[in-house]
Amino acid sequence: MAGKTEEELSKFDRKAFFDGIRKDRPYLFGERVQPATTGTNGAAADGSDPKTPAAGAPVVEVAKEQRFDAMKAKPEEVQARMNKLGLNPNQL
């Protein structure tokens, strides 16, 4: 619109202009609804529960069986565990 005379501006038809743009470039007039994700109310944006689901019973049982307590283990058991994990206390 810059550089137009008063006569050209008075003859300008806004409705025709925007109807033409709406046909040529419909993406400019579309609406994309997206829920806000800025809150910390404890729920996800899609309304689902954000908490991690509990592990199944077999997973918990296996974890309990494979638990290693270095405080109660003998020094040989600790060394064997460190070797199994590929750890060398002399390189730390």
What tokens does 18 get? 């925007």
pTM of structure: 0.34
- In whole angstroms, give the CA distance from residue 77 to residue 65: 16
Looking from the CA of 62 toward its CB, the CA atoms found within 13 Å total 5
**Tens digits of residue pLDDT in 59-81:** 778 778 888 898 999 999 999 98
Rg, Å, the chain Cα set: 34
Distances, alpha carbon 36 to alpha carbons 14, 40, 41, 45, in Å:
34, 11, 12, 7
**Tens digits of residue pLDDT in 22-31:** 889 888 888 7
